[in-house]
Amino acid sequence: MTIRVLLCDDHAMVREGLERLLAGHPGIDVVGTAADGDESVAKAEQLQPDVVMMDLSMPGLGGIEATRRLRAAVPAARVVVLTSSSKRDDVLDALGAGAAGFILKTADGDELVGAVEAAARGQAPLDPRAAQALLEQQRAVNPRQGMSTREREVLALVGEGLPSKAIASRLDITEATVKAHLTRIYRHIGVTDRTQAALWVRDHPERAEGRPG
């Protein structure tokens, strides 16, 4: 399967460099580029990419709001933020807006390609500094007790990086049931999305399995 990628950055040299890097990799097709947030949303609606590489700091509509609008307009597209900022608030705001991953522009070519491939698989590529920002937030959370056995099973599979469809197949339940479990799980552990839940599992494996921690 070829991964269709849209590149969004206000610097032409960055777009051209990324396009050369990704276009030369088998299995990845750069279907378009955008120079600002508004254009990224319009291009995503037109081109229906699998993965969108999104800069945060752009003129006009910034990357956070562009991510939010793009995810609403093209829910199947996975947004990976690619930025020079590792500020905790930027990480949390981007993931809160619906980004699937957060990668710094200091990443090397293999890391960028890996991030695109991971996002296309439904996983959450995160720079270690971005992951640390989330973990620091989650350490302050006092997880609620009372998850059911099924909810713990779903949470463990989220921690393994499985998308809802694969979890449903593994547990022999419907995808709608998985999503209902996820809504309750997020409330139990004090997170707002799948990426944060997966990181919570990594940081609290004993609690995810129902053991005291």
pLDDT at 134 (0 to 100): 63
3-state helix, strand, coil in the chain (%, to 5): 55, 15, 35
Q: Is residue 212 over pLDDT 60?
A: no
Q: Is residue 129 over pLDDT 90?
A: no
pLDDT at 210 (0 to 100): 43
**Span 67-109, pLDDT tens digits:** 999 999 999 999 999 988 877 778 878 888 889 899 988 888 8
Averaged over 112-130, what is the pLDDT?
Answer: 87
pLDDT at 145 (0 to 100): 52
- Listed in sequence order, the residues at least 6 apart from 88 whose beta carbon sits closer than 8 Å to its beta carbon are 133, 136, 137
Q: What residue ranges define each of the domains in the chain, with the CATH number in brackets?
A: 3-136 (3.40.50.2300), 141-208 (1.10.10.10)
**Span 36-66, pLDDT tens digits:** 999 999 999 999 999 999 999 888 889 999 9
* pTM score, whole prediction: 0.64
Q: Is residue 34 over pLDDT 90?
A: yes
Cα 78 to Cα 120: distance, rounded to the nearest angstrom:
7
CB 182 within 8 A of CB 156: no
**Span 135-189, pLDDT tens digits:** 665 554 444 456 778 888 899 999 888 999 999 999 999 888 898 889 888 877 8
CB 178 within 8 A of CB 164: yes
- Listed in sequence order, the residues at least 6 apart from 106 whose beta carbon sits closer than 8 Å to its beta carbon are 84
